[in-house]
Amino acid sequence: MTLFQNHLLSVILFTPTVGALLLLFIGKERDNAIRWIANIFGVLGFLVSLPLWFRYQPQGAAWQFVEHADWIPAIGATYFLGVDGFSMLLVLLTTLMGLIAILSSWTAITERVKEFYIFMLVLQTGMIGAFVSLDFLLFFLFWEVMLVPMYFLIGIWGGGRRLYSAIKFFLYTLVGSVVMLLGILALYFYVYTATGVYTFDITQFQQLTIPSNVQKWIFLAFFLGFAVKVPMFPFHTWLPDAHTDAPTAGSVILAAVLLKMGTYGFIRFSLPILPDASRAFVPMMIGLSLVGIIYGALVALAQTDWKRLVAYSSVSHMAMVMLGMFALTPVGITGSIVQQLNHGISTGALFLIVGIVYERRHTREISEYGGLSKVMPIYAAVFMIMTMSSIGLPALNGFIGEILILQGVYVVNKIWAAVAASGIVLGAAYMLWLYQRTMFGKIENPANEKLKDLNLREIATFAPLIALAFWIGIYPTPILRRLESSVTRVVLRVNSVYGPAMAKAAADCNNPPSAAAVAAAQANAPAGFTIEPPCTTEPAPAAPPRREGERR
């Protein structure tokens, strides 16, 4: 059990790898055994990550579950893992979506089954690794590790122009990440000249004061790497191709997790390490985001390919995430993070939804469908819920993200918020039109008459997503609480306006409201509900606590 106590992140990180290694020893013709093992490791991967949620302490240290070991001492690279609320949620999202993607492939993948699942599991390790690394070099390693399996997933099991798409995806991302590596190295050598220490320690980077002209160059280098991954307009064109041609599981992972690498990078690296540059580049970032929101939505409106439509909606939604982030307000950044989770859930589900009919009909042309509600009522209901989640209906998850983002942006600039909000109208337009063209009407294509509704396994893939969509929509407080300290740390770095207020909130926290006030609030509440005291803001951490024995 000490393994779980002290090395939880390593366990989470390498569970899929163990699965992949195990699969190597299974004969490649034993498809069902392979499927079972892969699914078991998918579930196992999710189960071992669950303790993160329960053992994470919202008011605790900045970095939790920390692990530290030497890796390449000569250059100061270490095996340094740890999570805050933000990366913890992304790890959970990754393990869950990985599980769902694996489960959804049971019948979809019939060729080279063994390789497929091995790639899926390796990909899983790569993604988790990128989220839990606190060493920049380690992060970069995992960042690149993700590329390879994804490349093969698209290239081997994809459809359409899969080789073109796979190569485009690979090269595009690689170009971005090479430039990002330059940025990392620049930072690394800058830190050496400034302090005389070779280190890739992110927690130390986040406390540096770097001259702003240096910051700007490093920011641009990071920007290219992350913006390609997000993807931001105009670096987005690899995404529709990759999504369209990837197998369902690949699209799901790509949308739900891989795109989050970019936004994760911005929040984890660009904002706190390069605060001056982040502020300086706000107009550019916001401009690109606003263009992305409207542009993605309009282009989605013109699509005739179901998957490509969802892919362009992704462009629009991720632009919304970027918008909230660069509002540089606590609410905006919180919304941005929540929206990342939401996008993972709802867009992931939308790709699963396309995958279901693609598996049955082998076409993604919207005009091939129509009237599916009649033959696939459960499917129609799931699709409806996810459509609503995607267009941000209140009481579903998308709304919380959007409203936080827009409110966070609004207090900074009203015009930005107004433009971004119009993206919501367009979002409703293209999603409802898609829904109408595929689900409503009479069945005119005889091929659709005998389509089977969802089976139990397929329902099982959607059930957790639907539950999450409602949970985040109705009671997001537990999630938002876990994000507070991460967001506070970032905001305190980049936005000086909030310093005093957050300190005051922390002070209020120490003087809880009078017992009478609490009792009065409780009296109004119906039986069975407890009113929580309003204090949730964590005291602003002056500096992340330092573990003893850490390398300087």
Nearer to other proteins, 332 or 355 (CB): 332
Q: 68: which strand partners?
A: 80
User: CA of 107: how far to CAs of 193, 248, 311, 358, 464, in Å?
Assistant: 56, 11, 23, 12, 20
512 preceded by a cis bond (ω within 30 of 0): no
Closest CA to 90 of 215, 260, 232, 244: 260
Q: How many whole angstroms separate alpha carbon 194 and alpha carbon 532?
A: 47
Judged by beta carbon, residue 70 or residue 532, the one nearer other proteins is 532
Token pair of 404, please? Answer: 């936080």
CB of 68 to other proteins, least distance (A): 32
Least separation, in Å, of the C-beta of 465 and other proteins?
17
Residue indicated by tokens 């189960």: 47
Closest distance to other proteins from the beta carbon of 402 (Å): 9
Nearer to other proteins, 220 or 535 (CB): 535
When the beta carbons of 407 and 445 are compared against other proteins, the nearer one is: 407
At closest approach, how far in Å is the CB of 161 from other proteins? 12
Question: Which is nearer to other proteins, 12 or 400 (by Cβ)?
Answer: 400
- Closer residue to other proteins (CB): 127 or 426: 426
What is the C-alpha to C-alpha distance for residues 260 and 298, in angstroms, rounded to an integer? 23
Q: Does residue 144 contact residue 288 with C-beta atoms inside 8 Å?
A: no
- Virtual CA dihedral for 116, 117, 121, 127, nearest 10 degrees? 40
CB of 64 to other proteins, least distance (A): 20
Q: How far is the CB of 59 from other proteins (least distance, A)?
A: 13
- Say if CB 239 and CB 296 are below 8 A apart: no
Considering Cα of 543, then 548, then 551, then 552, what sign does the dihedral take? Answer: positive
Q: In the complex, what is the shortest distance from the CB of residue 52 to other proteins, in angstroms, rounded to a whole number?
A: 21
Give the tokens for residue 148. 């390879």
In angstroms, the CA 359 to CA 366 distance is 15
Count helices and strands in the chain by DSSP H and E runs: 25, 2
What CA–CA distance (Å, rounded) separates 309 from 515? 54
CA distance 115 to 128: 20
For CA atoms 110, 116, 118, 124, give the dihedral sign.
negative
Nearer to other proteins, 47 or 171 (CB): 171
Question: What is the distance between the alpha carbons of residues 192 and 230, in angstroms, rounded to a whole number?
Answer: 30
DSSP per position, 386-424: HHHHHTT-TTSHHHHHHHHHHHHHHTT-HHHHHHHHHHH
Which is closer to other proteins, CB of 128 or CB of 434?
Answer: 434
Choose between 500 and 545: whose C-beta lies nearer to other proteins.
Answer: 500
Residue 195 C-beta: closest distance to other proteins, Å: 33
User: Least distance to other proteins from the beta carbon of 526, Å?
Assistant: 6
Cβ-based nearer residue to other proteins, 69 or 497? 497
CA–CA separation, 382 vs 396, rounded Å? 13
Indicate the residue among 50 and 384 with the shorter CB distance to other proteins: 384
R_g of the chain, CA atoms, integer Å: 23
Question: Structure tokens of 333?
Answer: 């950044």
Task: Decide whether 60 or 534 has the Cβ nearer to other proteins.
Answer: 534
**End-to-end C-alpha distance for the chain, whole angstroms:** 31
Q: Which residue, 265 or 370, has its beta carbon nearer to other proteins?
A: 370
Closer residue to other proteins in complex, CB, 41/86: 86
Least gap, CB of 50 to other proteins (angstroms): 23
Strand partners, 69: 79
328: left (phi over 0), alpha (psi -120 to 50) or beta: left
CB of 443 to other proteins, least distance (A): 8
In angstroms, give the least distance from the CB of 382 to other proteins: 12
State in angstroms the smallest separation of the CB of 88 from other proteins: 18
In the block, which residue shows the tokens 């063209």? 437
From the list 473, 459, 230, 448, the residue with the least C-alpha distance to 352 is 459
Query: In whole angstroms, how close is the CB of 347 to other proteins at the nearest point?
Result: 19
The answer to whether 108 touches 247, Cβ cutoff 8 Å, is: yes
